[in-house]
Chain A
Amino acid sequence: MLRYSIKRIMLASVTLFVILSLTFILVKYLPANTIPIDLLMEEGFDVDEWEKLYGFNQPVWEQYVLWVRNVFTRWDWGVSMQMRRGVGAFEVLMTNMPTTIRLNLIAFFISMPLGFALGILAALRKNKPLDHVISFFVMLFISIPSFVIVTLLMYYLGYKLGLFPIQYPPSNVSVELMYRGMVIPVLALSFGPIAGLTRYTRAELTEVLTSEFLLLARTKGLNKRQSVLRHALRNSMVPLVGIVIGNLVGIIGGSVIIERIYGVVGVGEVFLKALETFDYNVIMVTLAFYTSIGLIATLLVDISYGIVDPRIRMGARK
């Protein structure tokens, strides 16, 4: 298991490196890859030093070598050229990180217990009215795109009823307004995970509930409550661990669309702005960030499956 995990981690790192190298080269071959003029005009700006540091006006492969060296030796992801001139790209990303993490962490802690509870409820009352109601809403919230949900929330809760601000309030407002401003994005971020988790939990639990060992548990004299709590739930929770871990890692990524629509200044906003203004270094650092999150999530899910069920060995020979 340890060997498998180490192998997977190594492979994921290689993948990350390849993706970033490819995108770096693809992005760098685009036009407008120069130092902005007004940065050149700024006082105390040393062109020679920058050329030495980041290799401007040099072939792309030389810039690439420099970039890799800077990242590995000094954790220097370059400098923002457009969004916040002269500020480190990594720092630009980090300034917006807390907002995204805060919103998504709240959404996570709301959606996890709710998803589990609803899934268990639906599985225990399978094919009864309660199950149908839950399954109906699960289908609804899995299907309806998040941007439609957040738009409707903004219109009805924000505008029609006037309960919450229509746009995410800036950071310098009162505490009360800040918390009210978090309601709509948190709701929009929660619906999807709740529905997804409910569906998974229901599916897993119903499968376990029909298995033979549960029948045995009942036969040997446990009542329904005992058999469900001690045998069914424990066994059905195991595959869900991977999903929860995946969601937890995904938290840092946030939702680009919801952030854009509700005007939340988070990580997604950095990414979109960087793409719009072609702020290369910021694009690269956000890209590295998103890619690693994705890879780490898959990695953790796969490894946790391996731990949980040793029969699963992805990559076995024919």
Chain B
Amino acid sequence: MSVHNYDSDKELFRFTRTDERIFDTQFETKPIGYFKDAISRFRKNKASVFAFFILLIIITLSIVGPNLNGFDIKYIDSSLSYLPPKSNTLAKVGIMTGYKTYPGVPYATLERRYDLSSIIWMSEPYEQVSISGSKETIRTVVDIVLDEYQERFKPQELYISGGAALANMQSSPYYITHELLKEEIFTRFNPATQQWIIRDTSTYLVTVSYLGYYYADLVERGYSFTNTDQNPSFWFGTDGSGQDLFTHVWTGARTSLLIGFYVMIVTVSVGVVWGSISGYYGGTVDLLMERFTEILNGVPWLVAMTLIKLYFEDVPFFKTNPIFLIALALVITSWIGTSRSVRAQFYRYKGREYVLASRTLGAPDRRLIFKHILPNAIGPIITASVLIVPSAIFTESAIAFLNLGPSGTIISIGTLLSNGQSVLLSSPHMVLFPAIIISLLMISFNLFGNGLRDAFNPSLRGVE
């Protein structure tokens, strides 16, 4: 076995590429940072992106929605109460027609109760037994489908006495169809009280028709119009005071989102600080801080809400801004979740070698916390801050549902649901629309939050 002597065999080797010098070339691709990576991963999650757009739509509608159909949120008109949803466009395809089903209407009094032309459909008459006490009565009844809008806005005959304002027209603007009578008896219209003042003192029989929602404006501009064209159509129907539910639902969504937003801000700031300190220092500090959170966490939110309401409701600031009272009650326990996840991240990372290395090099606690460990918690913090919103909205609704909230007039999804609950059987639209909106909000927030969580979860790096 011979050893080849390379030194002597110089002719076996030759230089290559003596004409150029070789460098490391720069990467032509751009570096992918943490957030960019997360966003690209988030984009792959179709459901979350979809949820994000639904959320954007809901948020936009909660900003512009209350002004979309021209109904004033403060306008109260008892003659418009509990109208079913109606949309002139959608009525052509058979949904949101403004029809309402009345089961078991006594057949004998049908004509007296309703204008027959408003009845869209009528079942065969059948017999119904009703028991009151020990007495049984059998009545012939029918089920009818009624065009609620036509029925409600049909012209009515009224006796009106002179010398006074039209008392029964105070709340509802009506149009006096009898032009002759109008000239004779109504001298002038008082826009401040929205009443016609009657000149002489005799009693008249006049036909009045509903004037429409835009009454005062039209009268002032001297419009002449036919009555039916002016009938409003409420997309989501109306509530018990004749207020437009569409306007209310979006105003309510705005309130709910705002509460969620306030809660989110406090939750994140308090939760991060608390969780960092407790997780980084550990030991006795952690034990004491954990006891504190455990005590707070142990207080059921029902009790927290009740006590806060009783103690702070009369504070002037909360009297004018009742939603902050709810936000305060929610904040008391909401930050604990965030602080726990931040704390867990600190426990996971503070023992790592790179932290030890940094500490050995003399880095102060401040640097270790903010520079080395906290950035690992950014993902969970963002996720938690998104997921806190639906839970705040849920709790707010629950508080409103149980009538535990401040007694001021807050319009939120919860109060709307709670109002609708009492008339669930007769006017289901009062519950249906707020229920749809809150469900959509919850689903899309959860999907969006879960998408963010998956996108930010570093353990998924390199998968897919």
Report A's interface with B, CB cutoff 8 A.
Answer: 11-12, 14-16, 18-19, 22-23, 26-27, 30, 139-140, 142-145, 147-148, 151-152, 154-155, 159, 166, 256-257, 260-261, 271-272, 275, 283, 287, 290-291, 294-295, 298, 314-318
**A287 and B446 form a contact (CB under 8 A):** no
**Which of chain B's residues have a CB closer than 8 A to the CB of A139?**
443, 446-447
Q: Does B286 contact A (CB under 8 A)?
A: yes
Q: In whole angstroms, what is the CA distance A202 to B260 when docked?
A: 30
CB nearest neighbor in B for A276 = B403
> Given that A26-B307, A151-B431, A257-B398 are known contacts, is A315 also in contact with B298, CB under 8 Å in the complex?
no
Sample (14) of A-B pairs whose CB atoms are under 8 Å apart: A11-B294, A23-B303, A27-B307, A143-B442, A143-B443, A145-B439, A151-B431, A159-B424, A261-B421, A275-B303, A283-B303, A314-B347, A318-B281, A318-B351
Q: In whole angstroms, what is the CA distance A314 to B290 when docked?
A: 11
Min Cβ gap B57→A in Å is 17
**Which of chain A's residues have a CB closer than 8 A to the CB of B435?**
148, 151-152
By secondary structure, the B interface counts as: helix
User: Contact partner of A144 among B283, B404, B421, B439, CB < 8 A?
Assistant: B439
CB nearest neighbor in A for B286 = A315
> Given that A290-B300, A315-B286 are known contacts, is A143 also in contact with B280, CB under 8 Å in the complex?
no
**B438 and A145 form a contact (CB under 8 A):** yes
**A155 and B424 form a contact (CB under 8 A):** yes
**Which of chain A's residues have a CB closer than 8 A to the CB of B294?**
11-12, 15, 295, 298
CB nearest neighbor in B for A295 = B298
Q: In whole angstroms, what is the CA distance A281 to B397 when docked?
A: 28
Q: Does B139 contact A (CB under 8 A)?
A: no
**B287 and A315 form a contact (CB under 8 A):** yes
CB nearest neighbor in B for A29 = B311
Min Cβ gap B451→A in Å is 11
Which B residues between 291 and 305 are near A, CB-CB below 8 angstroms?
A: 291, 294-295, 297-300, 302-303
**B446 and A256 form a contact (CB under 8 A):** no
Q: Does B310 contact A (CB under 8 A)?
A: yes
> Given that A142-B446, A147-B417, A148-B439 are known contacts, is A317 also in contact with B398, CB under 8 Å in the complex?
no
Q: Does B282 contact A (CB under 8 A)?
A: yes
**B298 and A256 form a contact (CB under 8 A):** no
**A166 and B295 form a contact (CB under 8 A):** no
Q: In whole angstroms, what is the CA distance A43 to B27 when docked?
A: 94
**B298 and A16 form a contact (CB under 8 A):** yes
Q: In whole angstroms, what is the CA distance A11 to B289 when docked?
A: 13
Q: In whole angstroms, what is the CA distance A12 to B298 when docked?
A: 10
**Which of chain A's residues have a CB closer than 8 A to the CB of B300?**
287, 290-291, 294
**Which of chain B's residues have a CB closer than 8 A to the CB of A152?**
435
**Which of chain A's residues have a CB closer than 8 A to the CB of B286?**
315
| Best-surrounded residue of A18, A27, A143, A283 (most CB of chain B within 10 A) | A143
User: Contact partner of A317 among B282, B401, B424, CB < 8 A?
Assistant: B282
**Which of chain A's residues have a CB closer than 8 A to the CB of B310?**
30
> Given that A151-B421, A152-B435, A159-B425 are known contacts, is A19 also in contact with B443, CB under 8 Å in the complex?
no
**B287 and A260 form a contact (CB under 8 A):** no
CB nearest neighbor in A for B463 = A210
**Which of chain A's residues have a CB closer than 8 A to the CB of B297?**
294
**B404 and A257 form a contact (CB under 8 A):** no
**B431 and A144 form a contact (CB under 8 A):** no
**Known A19-B299, A23-B299, A318-B283; further 6 A-B contacts with Cβ < 8 A:** A15-B295, A15-B298, A151-B431, A159-B425, A256-B302, A315-B290
**B425 and A166 form a contact (CB under 8 A):** yes
Q: Does B163 contact A (CB under 8 A)?
A: no
**A287 and B303 form a contact (CB under 8 A):** yes
Q: In whole angstroms, what is the CA distance A272 to B402 when docked?
A: 8
Min Cβ gap A210→B in Å is 10
**A315 and B397 form a contact (CB under 8 A):** no
Q: Does B246 contact A (CB under 8 A)?
A: no
CB nearest neighbor in A for B307 = A26
**Which of chain B's residues have a CB closer than 8 A to the CB of A317?**
282-283
**A144 and B425 form a contact (CB under 8 A):** no
CB nearest neighbor in B for A152 = B435
Q: Does B100 contact A (CB under 8 A)?
A: no
User: Contact partner of A147 among B281, B295, B401, CB < 8 A?
Assistant: B401
CB nearest neighbor in B for A318 = B282
Min Cβ gap A73→B in Å is 24
Min Cβ gap B148→A in Å is 19
User: Contact partner of A154 among B299, B306, B424, CB < 8 A?
Assistant: B424
CB nearest neighbor in A for B397 = A145
**Which of chain A's residues have a CB closer than 8 A to the CB of B439?**
143-145, 148
Q: Does B252 contact A (CB under 8 A)?
A: no
**Which of chain A's residues have a CB closer than 8 A to the CB of B240?**
none
User: Contact partner of B302 among A140, A271, A314, CB < 8 A?
Assistant: A271
Q: Does B174 contact A (CB under 8 A)?
A: no
| Best-surrounded residue of A148, A159, A166, A316 (most CB of chain B within 10 A) | A148
Min Cβ gap A85→B in Å is 22
Q: In whole angstroms, what is the CA distance A314 to B306 when docked?
A: 33
Scoring B residues 417 to 430 as 1 if CB is less than 8 Å from chain A, else 0, what string do you get? 10001001100100
Q: Does B394 contact A (CB under 8 A)?
A: yes
Scoring B residues 384 to 404 as 1 if CB is less than 8 Å from chain A, else 0, what string do you get? 000000100010011001101
**Which of chain B's residues have a CB closer than 8 A to the CB of A316?**
282, 347
Min Cβ gap A216→B in Å is 21
